[in-house]
Structure 1
Amino acid sequence: MVPSAYVHIPFCDSICAYCDFVRIQKNEQFFSSWKDTLIQEIKEYKIENLHTLYFGGGTPSLLDVEDFISIRNCFPDSIDEFTVECNPESLDKDKLDAYVSLGVNRISLGVQSFKDDLLKICNRKHTSDQAKTVIQMIQSSGIHNFSIDLIFGLPNQTMEDVKKDIDTFLNLDIPHLSIYSLQIEENSIFGKTGVEPIDSDLEADMFEYITKTLEAAGYIHYEISSFCKPGYYSKHNLAYWQDKDFYGFGCGASGRIDGIRYDNTTSLKEYCVKGPQAIYISETLAERGMDAIMMALRTKFGLNIKEWNLKYQNDFKNHYATVLDKYHEYFLYDSDRVFLNDAGLEILNTILVDFMMIE
């Protein structure tokens, strides 16, 4: 059984300055055809059981309740974790009540910053006060498992700004945080307008402050960009990080079935006319094993060596002995598991480059 499904909703009211995901401003010309194609794509799999379901985007909360219901009804009634990504300006009480009645039990809210001038730089359409109001609305809705997104390393952002964002987050008593350093993507507005990354030392100082402050407040740093109170892990994202299969539905979605990854077309017009047009990614068993290592080492749970050896027909400790020895002060072992300490997570990309150099 494939345990998880991701549904990509590509529509947005506006385009954020940092975003390079597959997204388009909501277009009524294509919307009806897109919805019909998406429903047909999902129904072809006749899914009877599902552990996690995630509506991402784009902005899923842009959907009218009727459209949301028609897509949601393609999936089983009982789902352990059902997450919907929302923006503060497109989520109201009626829509939230409808989500609850339809089995949504987790919200991921795109806040990005609690500072209005930084929100404007990012081309976000909500204010800090709006975000706080929506967070309180979620807390009153019966959805106790929710997350917000924040970004650090934004243009003109100072260390004091980061401290205020983290302080606001803690005061709001939110159970989960996904926090990312700004990446200047070539096809984003930032990339096209020549925005430069902040000083790397300042970025490192920001991340160190975020990590230490949240851990001191009782949050678990369970993945390089993810913090949660005990018991509030994102089960859906853990499926990615723990080498599980997942369906990917919709224009611009990616999935993995029987260990083989695929990408749907990113062209909305092509998707509406021809369907998902999935391109399957050809990988050797060794390449798939490397993917599993890259994902697992992002998390505090690390890699199950025994399972990896069996699945990928190799001996992890022997095959990667030179890398494990080179970075020995960063690796920790617990029974059959290997994982990185906090200092190791800070240089994860450097370590992974060395892993990839081993044939």
Structure 2
Amino acid sequence: MVPSCYVHIPFCDSICSYCDFVRIQKNEKFFSAWKDTLIKEIQEYKICDLHTLYFGGGTPSLLDVYDFKQIRNCFPSSIDEFTVECNPESLNDEKLKAYEDLGVNRISLGVQSFKDEILQVCNRRHTALQAISVIEKIKKSSIQTFSIDLIFGFPNQTMEDVKNDISMFLSLDIPHLSIYSLQIEENSVFGKKGIKPIDSDLEADMFEYITKTLEAAGYIHYEISSFCKPGHHSRHNLAYWQDQDFYGIGCGASGRLNGIRYDNTSSLKEYCSFGPCPTYISETLEERSMDAIMMALRTRFGLNISSWNARYQLDFKTKYANVLNTYRSYFEYGDDRIYLNDAGLEILNTILVDFMMIE
């Protein structure tokens, strides 16, 4: 059984300045054909059991209730964790009630900042007050958990701005935070304008402040970009981090079946005319084993050594003895798992480079 499914909803009302995901401004000319193709793709998988379902994008909350219900009803009625990504300006009372009725039990809300000037630079359509208002509505609903996204490292953003964002997050008593350092992607608006990343030392100071402040407030830093109150981690994302297969459905979606990763076409025209047209990613068993290490070490759950050994027919501790010895003060062990402590997570990329150098 494949435990998880990601559905990509590629439409947005506007294009954020930092975004390089597959996203298209909503176009009624293609929408009906897109929806029909998406439903056909879902039905062809004949999914009868599923632990986690994730509607991402794009902006899934742009879908009206009728269209959302049609797509949702292609999946099993009982799902342990059903997450929908939303933007504050497109999540209204009608949609929130429909999500409750249709079994959504987790929302991921794209806030990005609580400072209006930064939101404007990013071409976001909501204000800080709108985001706070929607957060309060979610808290009053029956949806069991929710997360917000924040970004740090924007052009001209100060440490004081970051402190204010984290202070507002804590005051709102939100169970989960995904927080990312701004990456200037070549095909984003920022990239095309030649915007430069902030000073790397300031970025590191920001992340250190974020980590220490949230952990002091009782949040678990369970993945390099993710913090949660106990019991509120993202079960869907664990499928990616713990080397599991997952369906990737829709224009621009990625998935993994039988250990083989694939990318659906990112062309909406091609998708509507010919279906998902997946491109399969050729990897050796050794490359797949390295992918598993890279993903697992991002998390506090770490790598299950016995499972990795059995799947890839290797002995982890023997093969990587030199790396484990070099960075021994950064690793922790427990329950047949290996994971990085806080200091290790700070130099994760350096450690992974050394893993990749082992043949």
TM-score where L is the length of structure 2: 0.99
Q: Which residue of 1 aligns with 2:302?
A: 302
- 1:81 and 1:334 map into 2 onto residues whose CA distance is 27
For the residue of structure 1 that corresponds to 2:45, the secondary structure is coil
Q: Which residue of 2 aligns with 1:328?
A: 328
Q: Which residue of 2 aligns with 1:97?
A: 97
The answer on 1:58 being equivalent to 2:64 is no
The answer on 1:48 being equivalent to 2:39 is no
Q: Which residue of 2 aligns with 1:275?
A: 275
The 5 A counterparts of 1:182-197 are: 182-197=182-197
Q: Which residue of 2 aligns with 1:14?
A: 14
Deviates most, 346-355 or 24-33: 346-355
Deviates most, 13-22 or 326-335: 326-335
Q: Per-residue CA shift, 1:207-255, capped at 9, x if unaligned?
A: 0000000000000000000000000010000111011110000000000
Q: CA deviation at 1:50?
A: 0.3
Q: CA deviation at 1:356?
A: 1.1
One-letter code of the match for 2:285? L
Q: Which residue of 2 aligns with 1:174?
A: 174
One-letter code of the match for 1:38? L
- 2:349 and 2:267 map into 1 onto residues whose CA distance is 31
Q: CA deviation at 1:144?
A: 3.0
One-letter code of the match for 1:292? A
Q: Per-residue CA shift, 1:41-65, capped at 9, x if unaligned?
A: 0000111100000000000000011
For the residue of structure 2 that corresponds to 1:168, the secondary structure is helix
The 5 A counterparts of 1:189-228 are: 189-228=189-228
- 2:144 and 2:6 map into 1 onto residues whose CA distance is 21
- 1:286 and 1:152 map into 2 onto residues whose CA distance is 35
- 2:327 and 2:267 map into 1 onto residues whose CA distance is 43
- Structure 1 runs of 4+ off > 2 angstroms? none
For the residue of structure 2 that corresponds to 1:261, the secondary structure is strand
Q: CA deviation at 1:135?
A: 0.2
Q: Per-residue CA shift, 1:117-168, capped at 9, x if unaligned?
A: 0001111010000000000010111113000000000111100000000000
For the residue of structure 1 that corresponds to 2:84, the secondary structure is strand
Q: CA deviation at 1:335?
A: 3.4
For the residue of structure 2 that corresponds to 1:185, the secondary structure is coil
Q: Which residue of 1 aligns with 2:318?
A: 318
Q: Which residue of 2 aligns with 1:264?
A: 264
Matched pairs, number: 359
Q: CA deviation at 1:197?
A: 0.4
Unpaired runs of at least 5, structure 1: none
Q: Per-residue CA shift, 1:63-98, capped at 9, x if unaligned?
A: 011000110011000000000000000000111000
- 1:88 and 1:201 map into 2 onto residues whose CA distance is 32
For the residue of structure 2 that corresponds to 1:329, the secondary structure is helix
- 1:340 and 1:114 map into 2 onto residues whose CA distance is 31
For the residue of structure 2 that corresponds to 1:44, the secondary structure is helix
- Same amino acid, percent of matched pairs: 79
- 1:91 and 1:172 map into 2 onto residues whose CA distance is 18
- 1:51 and 1:323 map into 2 onto residues whose CA distance is 35
For the residue of structure 2 that corresponds to 1:118, the secondary structure is helix
